[in-house]
Amino acid sequence: MPEPASTFGAGIDSIYYIILWITGAIFVLVETALIVFIIRYRHREGRVAAYSHGNKKAEIVWTVIPFILVLFIVYASNDIWLEVKRADQGGAAPADALPLRVVAKQFEWNVTYPGPDGELDTADDFVKRNQLHVPIGRAVRIDLGSEDVIHSFFLPDFRVKQDAVPGMTIPVWFEATRTGEFPLACAELCGLGHYRMRASLTVHEAADFDLWQSQEIAASGSPTGASEIDTERANEAEISEGEESA
Amino acid sequence: MSTTQLLAPNVTAQHWADPSHPDDRPFIRRYIFSTDHKTIGNQFMFMSLFFLLVGGALAMMIRWQLGWPGQPMPGGGVLPETMAPGGILLPEFYNSLVTMHGTFMIFFAIMPLLVGMFGNWLIPLHVGASDMAFPRLNMMSFWSAVPAGFIMLASFVVEGGAAGAGWTAYPPLSAVPEYSGVSTGQQLWCVSLIILGFSSLMGAVNYITTIVNMRAPGMTWMRMPLPIWSLFITAILILLAIPILAGAAIMLLFDQTIGTTFFLPEAGGQPLLWQHLFWYFGHPEVYILILPAMGVASEVIANGSRKPIFGYPAMVGAIVAIAFLGWIVWGHHMFQSGMNPLLGSSFMLSTMIIAVPSAIKVFNWLGTIWRGDIHFHTPMLNALAFVGMFVIGGLSGVFMASTPVDIYIHDTYFIVAHLHYVLFGGSLFAIFAGIYFWFPKFFGRMLSPTLGKIHFALTFVFYNLVFFPMHNLGLGGMMRRIYDPNQYGFLEPLQPMNTFVSVFALALGVSQLVFFFNILWSLWRGEKAPENPWRSNSLEWSLASPPPHGNFEAMPAVYRGPYEYSYPGRGEDFWLQGEPPDGGAVHAPTGGAPVGEGVPQ
């Protein structure tokens, strides 16, 4: 797994390692027993198998122990899960979060930025295709949607994955802990271009993010109501759609 | 357990209208439109093995593309331009490959092998009946599975190609041709599964009725061989789950063809409804695909260990518990779907609890071989591999059952690794074990043990070299169902591992030819099978191989449970269920040593 780059990444990984240790120990125990028994009790001349229908005490032991172990795993997992999903806040991102809107469609990610006023659906919004830029150390709230089929918003380094479902707006949040450029991938089969529905996530220092944002606004001319999403399929040329039937 | 008491018969003599007799039916009634459960079992075997080959060939193409992305596939030139121009697989064809590989393997290979083949082979013989309760329905069940399979196969050659929305067919992708590029193929996928659903339902009512009503006198519930328990519970799962799939498939077909919008959001439909319906069927389906395998493995392990099954009541209880819990865990396929996260928490709990009955089964298998007298015949080797591999598949399932860990590994190769450890390492090894075990009974010829052991060794080694590294691919972040991972910089370092997996996948595919050759060769040239080659206990082993039409000459009586191996004081280390307690000749112990340590605990 890549080194985590979000605030909750390490917590998720810690559960992974807890499960790895528990299941690893059971794996070694069971497979060793299997191999030892296979060798120890292999057929030889004169060997007679024990006549036994079981042992209640042993069976109770190996029912209760796994039960306790899985309850522990559930308990530990649920803590992190509710934290990641911010269940105590009804799923709402932290109040100071940077609001973004990501709308997936075959086969691109369209990101709406709030512009200098920090609010979506205002005149200074602007849209970037396949480029997600966020500042470090500030929570980001993404309203995730899809225009056509189900996609899945996957940021491997951030331990973020959320399906984008048409007809639904699903909240996603994370807070970056490292600057740099990271992959954004589609993780749900979404059609023939699924395998190249990729984008990049750039994490800036806070000041650099503001600089980037003002450059973008300057480059795109006046920040007019760009919140309506550019529906032109820019990568249409790449798509070999010869097989599509009418 | 009492071994001598003959419990009250639950079957009366008038059910026995049809004693075994020479088969004088004309060829077509005997081999093609047969109502004999043994013939239908054989037919299911040949049909499913054919589709196993098809599914395997599709997997080879998938692995070619992932091992050597964009390189022309050797022999790929024979494929039409719409699939692989110049032998280079197209992305849309790749999507069809992954979809149809999953569809064929699950619905037309593993499921009919476990349920159709073993169910027909074993149920009437194991319970002591002359045939199924409804022989004609049984014939119809097979003969509706065949057209379903060929409709599915035919979808490769219709315009637009075969279905390409994954075997889970999530709408809107599966519902709208403009999104997937596939129209007719996606509809044929629905039609085929609807027909197959009828086939499964006809089988299920037959199995349930036969097991409930047609057990021979003395065949009490707790004397039933474990394959029968597992098939009984499986049949109940099928009866309840398949209508949900068929209903969902009909809704999807309507969305595709007559303009309904069950799953399309434009007019108020809900894409997640499909996922709920599909997985409400789909998770019981997972247990439909593993419970009979567990039953078969239990039978073979007790036989190979020459020991009674450890904790028979717990084994039965675990089957029932797994089947029950299987109904309340479907949401774990949807942790990242946008479902309420609190629902995720409850589905995590129910999912994790399934680990408990699964663990009981594993420990009881270990308990069975413990202090046994293990004979490594080919069925036993495969059954032991089943246990070893099922453990890995079960433990890897704990990772994705944990909601936070699933965030990362959902829809990655970790899932692919897990499901193949369960379905190949689990189900398929048990299927191999069962075919090696019962082939002699139904075809009258032994399968070659030499070829069997070569096949086992190659399969076991290559299988692990293929599927274990997939865990690492998944942890590296590699998504499922992507045509070319190298589109992503972070996946490029995984290419050598992908090539490694592909090399051994091709080797695994080729080594299955040993198995198919063994079957074809043994059908004509195999050593003639005796009545009871494995010195086993259940009722079929006292009949000729193959048993005559109608099975038993007279109503069999059952005197004991199916796993009375190595009973102290008997000369032989097995004890047929139908052997009267006083009628069986008691020979001097042949094992030499007096049986001292083997007293019941």
The C-alpha atoms of residue B155 and residue B193 are separated, in whole angstroms, by 13
CA distances from B432 to B38, B46, B303, B362 (A): 18, 14, 15, 19
In a domain, A4, yes or no: no
Same-domain check for residues A107 and A172: yes
Cβ of B340: how many Cβ atoms within 10 Å? 12
A170 lies in some domain: yes
CA distances from B198 to A136, A232, B333, B392 (A): 57, 45, 26, 34
Give, as one character, the DSSP assignment of residue A97.
P
Q: What is the pLDDT of residues A49-91, one digit of tens each?
A: 999 999 999 999 999 999 999 999 999 999 999 999 988 887 7
Residue A112 and residue A227 in contact, taking contact as beta carbons nearer than 8 Å: yes
Note whether A102 and A172 are same-domain residues: yes
Q: Are residues A120 and A206 in the same domain?
A: yes
| Rg (alpha carbons) of chain B, rounded to whole number | 24
Do residues B22 and B549 lie in contact, with contact meaning Cβ atoms separated by under 8 Å? yes
What is the number of domains present in chain A?
2
Alpha carbon dihedral B240, B244, B245, B247, in 10-degree steps, equals: 140
Query: Does residue A134 belong to any structural domain of this protein?
Result: yes
Identify which has the larger pLDDT, B579 or B5. Answer: B579
Greatest alpha-carbon pair distance for chain A in Å reads 93
* Tokens found for residue B186: 């996606």
Mean pLDDT computed over B297-315: 97
What does the pLDDT look like over B97-112, one tens digit per residue?
Answer: 999 999 999 999 999 9
For residue A131, the cross-strand partners are A200
B55, B98 Cβ separation under 8 angstroms: no
pLDDT of residue B439: 97
Residue B600: the pLDDT is 35
Q: Answer whether A245 sits within 8 Å of B181, measured CB to CB.
A: yes
* Rounded Cα distance, A128 and A112, in Å: 7
* Pairwise CA distance, residues B202 & B212, whole Å: 16
Instruction: Check residue B15 and give its pLDDT.
Output: 52
Shortest CA distance from B600: residue in chain A: A52
Query: Quick check: A70 and B95 CB within 8 A?
Result: no
Q: Does A240 touch chain B (CB under 8 A)?
A: yes
pLDDT at B597: 34
B16 band by pLDDT with thresholds 50, 70 and 90:
low
Q: Which chain B residues touch A159 with a CB distance below 8 Å? A: 404, 407-408
A3 belongs to a structural domain? no
Contact B179 A106 (CB under 8 A): yes
User: Using the beta-carbon criterion (under 8 Å), do A66 and B172 form an inter-chain contact?
Assistant: no
Give how far Cα B595 sits from Cα of A50, B95, B309, B575, Å.
8, 61, 19, 16
**Mean pLDDT, chain B, integer:** 92
Least CA distance to B180: which residue of chain A?
A191
* A93 located within any domain: no
Does A82 reach chain B within 8 Å, measured CB to CB? yes
Q: Domain containing B303: what range? A: 30-525
Q: Tell whether A57 lies on the interface with B, counting CB pairs under 8 A.
A: no
| A186 interfaces chain B, CB cutoff of 8 Å | yes
Q: Give how far Cα A81 sits from Cα of A64, B4, B192, B348, B406, Å.
A: 25, 56, 39, 10, 10
* Position B586 in a domain: no
CA neighbours closer than 13 Å in the CB half-sphere of residue B75: 4
Which distant-in-sequence residues (6+ apart) come within 8 Å of B528 by Cβ?
B444, B445, B446
pLDDT at residue B264, rounded to an integer: 96
Tokens of B442: 């139904």
| B325 lies in some domain | yes
The CATH number given to whatever domain includes residue B127 is 1.20.210.10
Mean pLDDT of A174-186: 96
Average pLDDT over residues B309-334: 96
In a domain, B267, yes or no: yes
Q: Please answer whether residues B518 and B459 qualify as being in contact, where contact means their C-beta atoms are separated by less than 8 angstroms.
A: no
pLDDT of residue A224: 47
What is residue B45's predicted lDDT score, i.e. its pLDDT? 97
Q: Which of A1, A14, A52, A200 to mutate to test the interface with B (most CBs of B within 10 A)?
A: A52
CA gap A113, A131 in Å, rounded: 11
Contact B495, B71 (CB under 8 A): no
When pLDDT is cut at 50, 70 and 90, the band that residue A222 belongs to is low
A51 and B599 in contact by Cβ < 8 A?
yes
The amino acid at residue B386 is F
Q: Kindly tell me if the per-residue pLDDT of B318 is higher than 80.
A: yes
Statement to judge: residues A133 and A203 lie in one domain = yes
Query: What integer pLDDT is reported at residue A235 of this predicted model?
Result: 39
| Token pair 């048409």 in the structure block, residue | A166
Nearest-Cα distance to chain B for A226, in Å, is 23
* Whether residues A64 and A139 fall in one domain: no
> Under 8 Å CB-to-CB from B32, ≥6 apart: which residues?
none
Instruction: Count CB neighbours of B194 within 10 A.
Output: 20
Under the banding of pLDDT at 50, 70 and 90, the label for residue A219 is confident
Taking only the tens place, the pLDDT of each residue in B191-237 is 999 999 999 999 999 999 999 999 999 999 999 999 999 999 999 99
Instruction: Determine, yes or no, domain membership for B551.
Output: no
Cβ atoms of B566 and B142 closer than 8 Å? no
Contact call for residues B96 and B161 (beta carbons, < 8 A): yes
Please write the tens of the pLDDT for every residue from B538-593. 999 999 999 999 999 988 999 999 999 999 988 889 999 999 987 544 443 333 33
Nearest residue on chain B to A20, judged by CA atoms? B399
**Could you give the CA distance from residue B22 to residue B550 in angstroms, rounded to a whole number?**
9
Question: At residue B316, what are phi and psi to the nearest 5 degrees?
Answer: -65, -45
Cβ of residue A163 closer than 8 Å to a chain B Cβ: yes
In a domain? residue A57: yes
Q: At what angle do helices B413-422 and B449-475 cross, to 10 degrees?
A: 150
**Confidence at residue B57, expressed as pLDDT on a 0 to 100 scale:** 97
- In this prediction, residue A93 carries a pLDDT of 85
Do A217 and A132 fall within a single domain?
Answer: yes
Does A63 contact B481 at a Cβ distance shorter than 8 Å?
no
Asked if residue A213 is part of any domain, the answer here is yes
Domain presence at residue B16:
no
**Close Cβ partners of B174 (under 8 Å, ≥ 6 residues apart):** B163, B165, B166, B180, B186, B189, B252, B256
Domain encompassing residue A66: 9-42+53-85
The answer on pLDDT for A2 being more than 50 is: yes
Optimal mutation site among B222, B301, B340, B371, interface A, most CBs of chain A within 10 A:
B371
Residue A206 lies in a domain: yes
Q: Is the pLDDT of residue B5 over 90?
A: no
Structurally, chain B folds into a number of domains equal to 1
B404-417 per-position pLDDT tens digit = 999 999 999 999 99
Closest CA to B398 of B369, B418, B380: B418
Query: Alpha carbon of A147 to those of A162, B74, B264, B265, B338: distances in Å?
Result: 15, 39, 11, 10, 16
| Closest to B389 (Cα-Cα) out of B397, B401, B399 | B397
pLDDT digits over B43-71, tens only?
999 999 999 999 999 999 999 999 999 99
The answer to the question of residue B34 being in a domain is yes
Per-residue confidence (pLDDT) for residue B325, from 0 to 100: 95
Residue A224 phi, psi dihedral angles, 5° rounding = -80, 170
Mean pLDDT (whole number) for A9-35: 96
Helix (H) or strand (E) holding B468, with range, is: helix B449-475
The reported pLDDT for the residue numbered A237 is 36
Mutate to test the interface with A, among B155, B373, B389 (most CBs of A within 10 A): B373
Using a CB-CB distance cutoff of 8 angstroms, which residues of chain B are in contact with residue A21?
none
Mean pLDDT of B166-180: 95
Q: What is the DSSP letter of A115?
A: T
Amino acid at B23: D
Q: Is residue B415 part of a domain?
A: yes
Per-residue pLDDT for B22 more than 80?
Answer: no
Establish if B249 belongs to a structural domain: yes
Least confident of A28-32, A222-226, B34-38, B91-95: A222-226
A81 & A108 share domain:
no
